Amino acid sequence: MSLKVKNLKVYYQTLRGDVKALDGATFTIEDGEIMGLAGESGCGKSTLSNSLILLKPPMRFVEGRVELDNEELPIWDMEKMNHFRFKKISTIPQYAMNAMNPIRKIGKMVSEILKSKKVDYKSTLPELKRRLDLVELSHDVLNMYPIELSGGMKQRMVMVLSTLMNPSLLMADEITSALDVSTQKAVAKMLVEFRNRELVKKLMVITHDISILYQIADSIMIMYAGKLAEKAPTSVIINSPRHPYTKLLISSLPDIGVKYSQRKLTGIPGKPPLLLDPPTGCRFRERCPVAFQKCLNEEPPFMEIKKGHFIACWKEFEKNA
Amino acid sequence: MTKPKKRINEILYFALKNKRLRVGLIVVLFFLILAFVGPLLTHYQWDAYVGPAYHPPSYEYWFGTTTFGQDVFTQFILGLKASFLVGIIGGGIGTLIGVLVGFTAGYHGGMIDEFLNMLTNIVIVIPTLAILLIISVYLKVRGVLIESIFIGFTAWPWAARAIRAQTFSLRSRDFVDLARISGIKPLKIMFTEIAPNMMSYLLMTFILQFGGAILIAATLDFIGLGPTNAISLGLMMNLAVLWGALPLGMWWWFVPPGAAIAAIVGALYLTNVGLDEVFNPKLRKL
Amino acid sequence: MKQYFTRKLFIYLLTFFIAVTIDWLIPRFMPGNPVQVLLARASLHAEAAKEMYSYYTKAFGLDLPLWKQYLNFWIAIFHGDLGTSILLFPQPVIKIIIRAVPYDIFLLLPSILLSWFAGNKFGAFAARTKWLDNTVLPIGYILTATPYMWLAILLGWVLAMVFPIFPLAYASSPAMKLSFSWIFIGDYLWHWILPFSSLFLVMFGGWAIGMRNMIIYELEADYSHYLEALGAPRKLVRRYAFRNAILPQVTGLALQLGIIMAGALVTEVVFSYPGIGYLILGAIQNQDFFLIQGCFLFIIIEVLIANFLIDVLYIIIDPRIRIGMGGKSA
């Protein structure tokens, strides 16, 4: 069983035209896999994760096919997707700290959500309490309002709620960015624990922080300007990346643990192209040290050059050929 | 931060595209022009008995005449002018005080905030009209200017509240910290760093205060506490009710002043929603 | 929570104190000798002049030191002694006001509460429903921008003069005696409908628009997006947004009270409705200073009580204050 995304295109509608934030993504996540998704801000990684679960205006579905465990997800249909959300596919959002209704007791909120999904709260309660134990939260939180919890506690509560129905796919969007280092580690470990206990089958972890991915991810996918650049097992991405962008990205991190969003990517001169009207050919070519004629005219496909190692770069294809 | 020039272009672009903003501005401009061009269209004094009494609108008397034969159109035009004056002065003073109090409270926090917040709460609770009532009763001669000033001095609290909240959220941003670390004086930070980032907010506050001042003035004038030496839209309605325009069916006397106020204030509110959509990308509809 | 209440109570007491002081201060700091001015204006009744003179020497006590004058004013207030009316000589002001207050309450309470509930429901319903947003919203804006007295005049003109369905003036037919008979109540309601409707409509527009704008913000809030991401039905998302958006509307109610009182005042004037508003008009026209001072005090008291009730309500509906962490922002 797996998540299969084929040529997914999701644009942002603006008054000046479509911003091609996600322009054709094809990849697979297998059961048991934790896939890290990384790239500069604005590269489309949040668009990708959002479009899988909550695709609504100004986002616009253009084309593509998403299959989860051999079933097609109707991601373009807000209503039909409700059938899959929470039970099959779930998310720990970037804004987990503010994700809970401030004026409802947490237990009541959980029960109302469950009820709306036709799940019995009473019979779910024992499992809910087990999950709270798992993330080291007291059962009392159910009788509290979100404002009574610390940021880390709120995040863990959201983790528990989001995964309560054992979804097949869980997306975690920048969940560590607002936390201090030790809490970051604990949260990351919990994600792995969730996977190990098969509470979730596969994970997509979106982050700015490659060091977190290094610790927990089985594979890492790099995005650039709305396109997939490279996907490979974690050790390959860290130790022997092939795409020039990945190489620059990894080498620009002096030590694992520095968030590259906070550094100005000094190693890579230039800026990503505007996605309102992206140039033809390879989107990285203007900043690429090895670009040549072909990169100007033709867009490189995202191809598997070794088992489990995908890449979109003409130069590397040439080398491989 | 995006480049300021690009941002201004973008705002203008959305401003021109926004229907609510366009309609609101056109209506306000129409009445504004009428208030200033109008006096050229009439050769009567507002309180002179110039024609037959109870006269419905006609070629000679566009909006008809009052029970005493005064020209309603002349009164209307002058009243319109008075309303704009009250709006600008009353709304201006209200905004200014609100901004000063709100800025200071939001920027300094602590005891100063406590004190100003309490002051704001007290002024909010005491009904503005009650204060104006007491003051007006004892002031024998009152003009539009005095009225506007009193309105401004009692209408600021909610502006102060809104600005305070906004300043709170802005002062914790990086660029304000940066200025603070480099030892720039608080007042200077307020005006060079915070104010520009709140311009849109200030503009909208002023617009709401403007409309509010017009409504308060109309209410005050209607119960006979308005200007004693001039005409206003509220006073027109007061006179109309007092001198039996209702039983006599003299609709031309009481319909125009109220309709003008409703149209101006309504258009101001509409402008405000439009501006909100322009400045706040989240609300823009596609 | 206790701290929150203590704080609020302190502010209310302080407000009352300041209001009374303003009430006392103004005649004293106006140019001219107030006693002379007042006596000159009240020369209509010889008896009234005499009564006033003796009251003024007592209440104003201009020969006494200022602090003593001030103290006497407070003592008089706590004895319910607000002076004697000139307009309705020789009735005590307090009696006149107490007679008028019930009319205010029965007019204001239903119109405020009903317009608040209806406006909020309707605004929430209109938000994000395109055709409603585009048709009804402008009407809401025009309603809320309409001066209270103008709508009252229009309603009176159309529904009492052009189509004589409702009476134009008074709270009951002049021939009716105040009683608890069905006929009287029917007659009372018959007179009540027009002032009630004009108050209701103006306020309704304001609440509907306030709610519409609030709920749009709330539907874009993080907790709403999370609910959607969990596949919660639209109904639940909207219910949560409504519950959150209603909080600022409660605060708004407190902030609006002063303006609503002013609106009620002019509405009463239009319909010659015998509440405090109508009294004030008479008092102003007759320069009845004691009556004006008295009405001022009563409006303050009414607004303070209403504010207090709203504060209590707020604590019930917003857990953040109950927990004692939201006190700062209140």
Q: Where does the pLDDT of residue A13 fall: very low under 50, low under 70, confident under 90, or very high at 90 and above? A: confident
Count CB neighbours of C164 within 10 A. Answer: 9
At A14-23, the pLDDT tens digits run 777 788 999 9
| Residue C127 contacts residue C121 (beta carbons within 8 Å) | no
Alpha helix (H) residue ranges in chain A: 45-53, 78-81, 106-116, 121-134, 151-162, 181-196, 210-216, 234-239, 244-251, 293-297, 314-320
Contacts of A58 in chain B (CB under 8 A): 286
Measured CA to CA, the distance from residue A252 to residue A249 in angstroms comes to: 5
Q: What is the pLDDT of residues A181-193, one digit of tens each?
A: 777 888 888 999 9
Q: CA torsion angle for A232, A237, A242, A243 (degrees, to 10)?
A: 90
CA distance C329 to chain B (A): 9
Q: Which residues sit opposite A172 in a β-bridge? A: A92, A205
Side chain identity at residue A267, one-letter code: G
Give chain A positions within 8 Å (CB) of C319.
102-103, 105, 145, 147
Chain C residues with CB under 8 Å of B211 CB are 145
Burial (CB count within 10 angstroms: exposed 0-12, middle 13-18, buried 19+), residue A318 = exposed
Classify strands A34-38 and A219-224 as parallel, antiparallel or unpaired.
parallel
- Is residue C84, in this structure, part of any structural domain at all? no
Interface of C with B in 236-295 (CB under 8 A): 254-255, 257-259, 261-263, 265-266, 269-270, 277, 280-281, 284-285, 287, 289, 292-293
- Partners of A15 on chain B (C-beta within 8 Å) are 13-14, 17, 284, 286
Q: CA of A57: which chain B residue's CA is closest? A: B286
- Find residues 189-228 of chain C whose CB sits inside 8 Å of chain B: 209, 213, 216, 220
- Top residue of A103, A106, A204 to mutate, by most chain C CBs within 10 Å, is A103
From chain A, the residues in CB contact with B277 under 8 A are none
**Per-residue pLDDT reduced to its tens digit, A56-82:** 888 999 999 999 999 999 999 988 999
User: CB burial class (10 A; 0-12, 13-18, 19+) of residue B94?
Assistant: buried
Highest mean pLDDT among B128-142, B179-193, C119-133: C119-133
**CA-nearest residue of chain B to A12?**
B286
Q: Is B93 a residue whose pLDDT tops 70?
A: yes
- Which of A213-217, C189-193, C312-316 has the least mean pLDDT? C312-316
The predicted structure's pLDDT at residue C193? 94
* A-B contacts at Cβ under 8 angstroms: 9
The predicted structure's pLDDT at residue C100: 92
C170's enclosing H/E stretch is none
Give residue C46's pLDDT. Answer: 61
- Mutate which: C150, C151, C281, vs B, most B CBs within 10 A: C150
DSSP-based three-state secondary structure for A143: helix
Residue A253 in contact with residue A260, Cβ under 8 Å? yes
The average confidence (pLDDT) of chain C is 83
| pLDDT tier at C79, thresholds 50, 70, 90 | confident
Q: How many CB atoms lie within 10 A of CB C165?
A: 11
C329 Cβ contact list (under 8 Å, min separation 6): none
Judge whether C176 is closer than 8 Å to chain A, CB to CB: no
- Is the Cβ of A274 closer than 8 Å to some Cβ of chain B? no
Does residue C327 have a pLDDT over 50?
A: no
Region A79-97: mean pLDDT is: 91
Q: Residue A259 region, left (φ>0) first, then alpha (ψ -120 to 50), else beta? A: beta
Would you call B244 an interface residue with chain C, using a CB distance cutoff of 8 Å? Answer: no
Query: How far is it, in rounded angstroms, from Cα C81 to Cα C96?
Result: 12
Model pLDDT for residues C172-201, shown as the tens digit of each residue: 887 777 777 888 888 889 999 999 999 999
- Model confidence at B11: pLDDT above 80: no
Higher pLDDT: A253 or A320? It is: A320
Across the interface, of C222, C231, C326, the residue whose CB is closest to A98 is C222
Taking CA–CA distances from C243, the nearest residue in chain A reads A103
d(CA C78, CA C75): 5
Enumerate the residues of chain A whose CB falls inside 8 A of the CB of residue C225: 54, 93, 95, 99
Establish if C168 touches chain A: CB-CB under 8 angstroms: no
Those of residues 114-133 in C touching chain A at CB distance below 8 A are none
Beta-ladder partners of A14: A17
pLDDT at B27: 95
Residue A13 has its nearest CB partner, among B14, B17, B286, at: B286
pLDDT band for B129, please (50, 70, 90 cuts): confident
> Is residue A101 within 8 Å of residue C240, measured between CB atoms?
yes
Rounded CA separation C50/C56 (Å): 10
Q: DSSP per residue over A229-245, as a string? A: EEEEEHHHHHHS--SHH
pLDDT tens-digit profile of C241-297?
999 999 989 988 988 888 888 899 899 999 999 999 888 888 877 777 778 888 888
Smallest Cα distance from B27 to chain A, Å: 26
Q: How confident is the model at residue C3 (pLDDT cuts 50, 70, 90)?
A: confident
Q: Where in chain A is the domain with CATH 3.40.50.300?
A: 2-88+168-320
Q: What is the mean pLDDT of chain B?
A: 83
Q: Is B127 on the interface with C (CB under 8 A)?
A: yes
B247-275 mean pLDDT = 91
Give the model's confidence band at A211: pLDDT under 50 very low, under 70 low, under 90 confident, else very high. Answer: confident
The pTM (predicted TM-score) of the whole model is 0.85
By the CB < 8 Å criterion, does C94 face chain B? no
Neighbours of chain A (3+ CB pairs under 8 A): B, C
- The helix/strand count (H/E) of chain C reads as 13, 0
Nearest CA in chain B to A15: B286
* pLDDT for the residue numbered B6: 62
> Is the pLDDT at A46 greater than 60, yes or no?
yes
Residues B179, B185, B191, B192, CA torsion sign: negative
Q: Which range has the worst mean pLDDT, A65-74, A137-146, B5-14, B15-24?
A: B5-14
Alpha carbons C245 and C128: distance in angstroms, whole number? 14
pLDDT band of residue B46 (cuts 50, 70, 90) is: confident
Give the best residue of C219, C230, C247, C316 to mutate against chain A (max A CB count within 10 A): C230
Task: Report the gap between the CA of C181 and the closest CA in chain B (Å).
Answer: 30
C303–B138 CB contact, under 8 Å: no
What is the number of structural domains in chain C? 1
Using only C-alpha atoms, what is the Rg of chain A?
20
A147–C225 C-beta distance less than 8 A: no
Q: Which of A73, A101, A157 to mutate to test the interface with C (most CBs of C within 10 A)?
A: A101
Q: Which DSSP state fits B191? A: I
Contact yes or no for A26/A18 (Cβ under 8 A):
no
Distance CA B227, CA B142 (A): 5
Query: Would you call A113 and C230 a contact, using CB atoms and an 8 Å cutoff?
Result: yes
Q: Does B122 touch chain C (CB under 8 A)?
A: yes
Q: Residue A150 has what pLDDT? A: 86
Query: Residues of chain B with pLDDT > 90: what percent?
Result: 29
Q: Could you tell me the pLDDT band of residue A255, with boundaries at 50, 70 and 90? A: low
Tokens encoding B103: 């800025």
Q: What distance in Å separates the CA atoms of residue B164 and residue B117, rounded to the nearest whole number?
A: 9
> Model confidence over A101-159: pLDDT tens digits?
998 999 999 999 999 999 999 999 999 999 999 999 999 999 999 989 988 899 899 99
The span from the CA of A207 to the CA of B149, in Å, is 56
| ipTM reported for the complex, 2 dp | 0.90
| Topology of domain B64-283, CATH | MetI-like fold (1.10.3720)
Q: Does C159 touch chain B (CB under 8 A)?
A: no
Q: How many whole angstroms separate alpha carbon C247 and alpha carbon C101?
A: 29
Class of domain A2-88+168-320: alpha beta
Question: What is the rounded average pLDDT of the residues B144-164?
Answer: 88
In this complex, is the C-beta atom of A82 within 8 Å of any C-beta atom belonging to chain B?
no
A7 and C CB contact within 8 Å? no
